[in-house]
């Protein structure tokens, strides 16, 4: 092969394009789907946030005992930057009725879809703020307001965003 300037330039360009294609393919084939396999939970008796498998159906076993007082916690970042832990706060807590938990647990164990309709399941999910005394149905007016009001909690003109562990 004749190593002229033109040939060397073409070879360097081809190698650069090959490296660039490799970087693109690597990012495409990465295993990180952006979906966390973990979720935030809140221990009602300990009043502490903790992380557990997101597939668990709340209430789950809490931090320090066998009592099922761990409920799902929706954690938000008030400045729109989920990696900024200083801005994290709990928007609301969520748990399922004992009947719904039993049905979902049985369906999951059997590897089948739940027989409870989506509408019925929503009515059997309960939400509250950390400081609230009472749980309310997700389908109630108060429940619907509670699960949407966190969007307005952003600071400095930014929108709040949900965080994952």
66: left (phi over 0), alpha (psi -120 to 50) or beta: alpha
Domain shared by 15 and 43, yes or no: no
End-to-end CA distance of the chain: 56
Asked if 152 contacts 134 with a C-beta cutoff of 8 angstroms, the reply is no
Asked if 74 contacts 92 with a C-beta cutoff of 8 angstroms, the reply is yes
| pLDDT tens-place values along the chain, 165 residues long | 567 777 666 666 666 566 555 555 555 555 444 567 999 999 999 999 999 999 999 999 999 878 899 999 999 999 988 999 999 999 999 999 999 999 999 999 999 999 999 999 999 999 999 999 999 999 999 999 999 998 887 777 788 899 999
23: left (phi over 0), alpha (psi -120 to 50) or beta: alpha
Domain shared by 96 and 21, yes or no: no
Domain shared by 104 and 70, yes or no: yes
Range of the domain at 15: 1-30
Q: How far is CA 95 from CA 55, 81, 87, 105, in A?
A: 13, 26, 24, 14
Domain shared by 42 and 73, yes or no: yes
Q: How much is the pLDDT for 26?
A: 58
Domain shared by 85 and 136, yes or no: yes
Domain shared by 14 and 89, yes or no: no
Indicate the pTM of the whole model.
0.75
Domain shared by 23 and 45, yes or no: no
Domain shared by 144 and 95, yes or no: yes
Strands 88-96 and 125-128, by their bridges, are antiparallel
Domain shared by 26 and 42, yes or no: no
- Phi and psi, residue 58, nearest 5°: -75, 145
When divided into structural domains, the chain yields a total of 2
Domain shared by 85 and 151, yes or no: yes
Domain shared by 94 and 148, yes or no: yes
Domain shared by 51 and 123, yes or no: yes
Asked if 127 contacts 92 with a C-beta cutoff of 8 angstroms, the reply is yes
Q: What are the tokens at 55?
A: 């597939």
């Amino acid at each position: 092969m004749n190593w002229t300037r033109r040939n060397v330039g073409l070879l360097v360009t081809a190698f650069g394009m090959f490296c660039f294609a490799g970087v693109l393919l690597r990012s495409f084939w990465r295993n990180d789907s952006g979906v966390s396999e973990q979720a935030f939970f809140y221990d009602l008796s300990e009043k502490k946030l903790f992380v557990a498998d997101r597939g668990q159906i709340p209430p789950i076993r809490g931090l320090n005992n066998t009592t099922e007082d761990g409920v799902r916690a929706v954690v938000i970042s008030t400045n729109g930057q989920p990696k900024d832990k200083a801005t994290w706060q709990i928007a609301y807590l969520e748990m399922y009725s004992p009947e719904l938990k039993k049905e979902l647990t049985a369906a999951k164990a059997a590897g089948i879809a739940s027989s409870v309709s989506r509408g019925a399941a929503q009515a059997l999910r309960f939400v509250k703020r950390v400081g609230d005394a009472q749980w309310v149905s997700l389908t109630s007016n108060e429940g619907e307001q509670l699960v949407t009001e966190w969007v307005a909690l952003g600071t400095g003109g930014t929108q709040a965003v949900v965080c994952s562990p």
